[in-house]
Amino acid sequence: MDNDLVKFGPYALPFLMTGCLAIIFFFADFSAKAKNAVALCLGIGLAICYLPYAGIPWTFVNIVDYSLYGLIQGAAAVGLWKTLNIQIRHQQ
């Protein structure tokens, strides 16, 4: 897998996704389970969208590698989202 997956750094994607999820969840009402699924699907979707953007060939290996990367980033965004929610609720 190419180490330049995200040009702004490999650790920034979960933070970017957390911001996107905050906007999505502000306008749409989802259950807790659905929020997790949305985050995971967003991660996988962004990772798959990166393939044509970077000109990476659509091979089975690349699709699986980037799907797993997106799944992990989506899970990281879920963790960040839940951590931020706990901190916000705790301060109120």
Higher pLDDT, 57 or 26: 57
- Mean per-residue pLDDT, 59-82: 86
What's the predicted TM-score (pTM) here?
0.70
What angle do the packed helices 13-27 and 32-54 form, to 10 degrees? 130
User: What is the DSSP annotation of 23-80?
Assistant: HHHHHS---HHHHHHHHHHHHHHHHHHHHHHHT----HHHHHHHHHHHHHHHHHHHHH
Mean pLDDT of the chain: 78
